A = this chain, B = another copy of it.
Amino acid sequence: MAADPRFHPAAGPFQLSDLAKAAGAEMVGEGALPFRDVAPLELAGPDEVAFLDGRKHLDALRASRAGAVVLRSEFAGSLPAGCAGLISPAPHLAFARIAGLFHPPPPPVPGIHPTASVAADAILGEGCEIGAYAVIGPGAILGARCVLGPHVVIGPGCVFGDDCRIHAHASAVCCIAGDRVTLHHGARVGQEGYGFAPTPDGRFLTIPQLGRVRLEDEVEVGANSCVDRGAMGDTVLGAGTRLDNLVQIGHNVTTGRGCVIVAQVGISGSTKLGDYVTIAGQAGLTGHLTIGSRARVGAQAGVQGDIAAGQDVTGSPAMPVKDALRAALYLRRVGARKAHPAGMEEQKGPPAGRPEQTD
């Protein structure tokens, strides 16, 4: 079951040796057929390549009709007869490289759509593709081979490096970006952050937000995610950092390299992340915190204090993961009446409480 060619036409075909070379993998067995695409293990046919994502899929491997499978050496013995192996210590990465051989990112189609509105003094690098109704403001600068989808807005003075991809409906203002930066559909970068002071007559006065957003090389901002510019100084996403969808990054947040920020996370202003911090879905971090490199924050966690490098926390308020699991287990036991704490003498029937309302 190859990818739908309406959306994902495949390059190739390729020989097994081409795949092994792209993946940096060692071949086991022969692949006589040219290979035409990647496919999941359960569905792949003799001209398709799959991968084994861990031992729990071994049964699927043994039953697979794939022509070749990317896998760790320890599982090579489970390859079906006639199925070639591509041995790698990092099968997911190797498979990504092979998939990228069949489905490379489409190159830009250089040109400016006749409906795009590009300021006279904007500078576009060679080979840019500018989509329908895109708006590029005065003094903006795009590097080479940037691809802007329909309706993209690049504000005055913004700078993007080479090979950036800015998908339909995304907007960037007050933004300086490096190379190979990606803004997904509807991403919002550089808008005014949430800053105001109460006045004596009961109103709010906006505090001018005079900073910018800096996106280092290979940063990605997910669909409909928001990155506010700094109040003074910059909001910075370090090289390789990737935001999933519907994420909120407050003014003057900074991250190091390679941070992984999953969907619907919110990080309040001026919080600073080190390198390779992972924040799981829907977690929230208050402001002015310091999160050390390689810390990991669990899904839905509520972080209210600094986290040391390498520490794993979860829960709301957040605490070390082992502690949080212990506390959660205790609550589960209380709920299931397997623990009978003082002050909860046997309740008759379920406690009065407001059942969860969906609106």
Determine which of B286, B298, B356 lies in contact with A321 in the assembled complex, contact meaning CB atoms within 8 Å. Answer: B356
A194 touches B100 (CB 8 A): no
A343-B340 in contact given A39-B232, A224-B188 (Cβ < 8 Å): yes
Interface size on A, residues (CB 8 A): 146
User: Most chain-B CB neighbours within 10 Å: which of A168, A203, A258?
Assistant: A168
Which residues of A (208-239) have their CB < 8 Å from a CB of B?
Answer: 208, 210-212, 218, 222-224, 226, 228, 232-233, 239
One of A28-36, A77-85, A243-251 at the interface: A243-251
A68 to B207, CA, bound (A): 18
> Is A305 part of the binding interface, using a Cβ–Cβ cutoff of 8 Å?
yes
A212-B96 in contact given A132-B135, A133-B151, A359-B250 (Cβ < 8 Å): no
Residues on B with C-beta less than 8 A from A260 are 358
Q: Would you give the 0/1 interface string for A296-309, flagging 1 where the beta carbon is closer than 8 Å to chain B?
A: 10111110110000
One of A12-20, A59-67, A122-130, A276-284 at the interface: A276-284
Which residues of A (1-23) have their CB < 8 Å from a CB of B?
Answer: 1, 3-4, 6-8
Q: Would you give the 0/1 interface string for A327-359, flagging 1 where the beta carbon is closer than 8 Å to chain B?
A: 111111111111111111001001101111111
User: Most chain-B CB neighbours within 10 Å: which of A320, A336, A353?
Assistant: A353
A102 to B208, CA, bound (A): 9
A300 touches B299 (CB 8 A): no
> Is A290 part of the binding interface, using a Cβ–Cβ cutoff of 8 Å?
no
Residues on B with C-beta less than 8 A from A262 are 194, 358-359
B278 touches A358 (CB 8 A): yes
A48 to B155, CA, bound (A): 27
B167 touches A95 (CB 8 A): no
> Is A291 part of the binding interface, using a Cβ–Cβ cutoff of 8 Å?
no
A151-B169 in contact given A336-B323, A350-B322, A357-B299 (Cβ < 8 Å): yes
Determine which of B39, B100, B280, B316 lies in contact with A208 in the assembled complex, contact meaning CB atoms within 8 Å. Answer: B100
A354 touches B304 (CB 8 A): yes
B266 touches A282 (CB 8 A): yes
A230 CB → nearest B CB, Å: 10
A72 CB → nearest B CB, Å: 14
B299 touches A286 (CB 8 A): yes
A263-B325 in contact given A7-B157, A133-B133 (Cβ < 8 Å): no
> Is A171 part of the binding interface, using a Cβ–Cβ cutoff of 8 Å?
yes
A329 to B270, CA, bound (A): 26
Q: Which 3 A-B pairs have the closest CB atoms?
A: A339-B343, A323-B335, A298-B356
